[in-house]
Amino acid sequence: MKNIHIYISKISLIFVVLLLGNTAIKAQDEKGGFFRKHKFVNMTEFGGLFGRIKYQANYYGGWYPYPYPGNYPDQYQIKNKVNLSMQTFNGIYIDRKTAAGITIGVDGYGETVLMPIALGVRRSILQKKEGGSGLQAGIDAGYSTTWLNEDNTGFHTKGGLLVSPTVGYRLPMRNGSAWLINIGYRFQRAEYKMDRNGNEVYWSETNEVRKYKRMVLRLGVEF
């Protein structure tokens, strides 16, 4: 029951954010003074998070006491990983080249789904011709929430810091919108905790600190 309440509150929060975005657009329609001066901008992108994992392969699987401690050097195994990422940036132009706003995203790392909420800045850094294609840099920094995540029994996921700088192309269309191709880096921190289990004599508990470090490649639209 408690879970349902939390779920409802999360969903409603998302709606509130969307509604705020909506009113911002409406406000622009009404040609309010502020939004005439600072144009609203939305950049919605989909992409992948590319990276690899490296983990101890000769880990002794929990046997204790380990038969010959220290006799084996650590051996690592590598695997490449690609995960999905999407995000939407809603902001305003604070000057001719720079837009600032809020970024909300969804990043899936296997079973773990993180929903970052971040402050974002986009700035055009190189444009040869007014209205033409250009280079754009951006950075998002904020906190990854676990609102969309569902945990296994006895486990708890906690979100953490998100930092994601990108650089990419902005390719304007005739209708005033633009295509976006961004490439960059995405750092996300999360914690995965296992409650103590076992009995009063033998028990165990774990806490995993995860630092996802990925290359991000996203395609999207700006309007």
Closest distance to other proteins from the beta carbon of 187 (Å): 8
Nearer to other proteins, 35 or 192 (CB): 192
Whether 99 contacts 90, CB under 8 Å: no
Q: How far apart are CA 121 and CA 197, in angstroms?
A: 45
Whether 173 contacts 195, CB under 8 Å: no
Closest distance to other proteins from the beta carbon of 214 (Å): 6
Would you tell me how many other CB atoms lie within 10 Å of the CB of residue 3? Answer: 8
Closest distance to other proteins from the beta carbon of 219 (Å): 18
Whether 65 contacts 85, CB under 8 Å: no
Which residues of this protein are in contact with other proteins, per CB under 8 A?
Answer: 50-56, 59, 61-65, 74, 76-77, 79, 81, 109-112, 125-126, 135, 137, 165, 167, 184-185, 187, 192, 194, 198-215
Nearer to other proteins, 18 or 125 (CB): 125
Residue 194 half-sphere exposure, CB side, CA atoms within 13 Å? 8
Closest distance to other proteins from the beta carbon of 181 (Å): 15
Would you tell me how many other CB atoms lie within 10 Å of the CB of residue 136? Answer: 24
Closest distance to other proteins from the beta carbon of 202 (Å): 6
Closest distance to other proteins from the beta carbon of 124 (Å): 10
The set of residues, in sequence order, having a beta carbon less than 8 Å from that of 79 and lying 6+ positions away, is 52, 53
Nearer to other proteins, 30 or 208 (CB): 208
Could you tell me how far CA 41 lies from the centroid of its own chain?
19
Instruction: Decide: residue 165, CB within 10 A, 0-12 exposed, 13-18 middle, 19+ buried.
Output: middle
Closest distance to other proteins from the beta carbon of 94 (Å): 18
Length of the chain: 223
Nearer to other proteins, 32 or 154 (CB): 154
Nearer to other proteins, 125 or 219 (CB): 125
**Long-range CB contact pairs, 22-26, < 8 A, 24+:** 24/90, 24/92
Nearer to other proteins, 61 or 131 (CB): 61
Nearer to other proteins, 90 or 164 (CB): 164
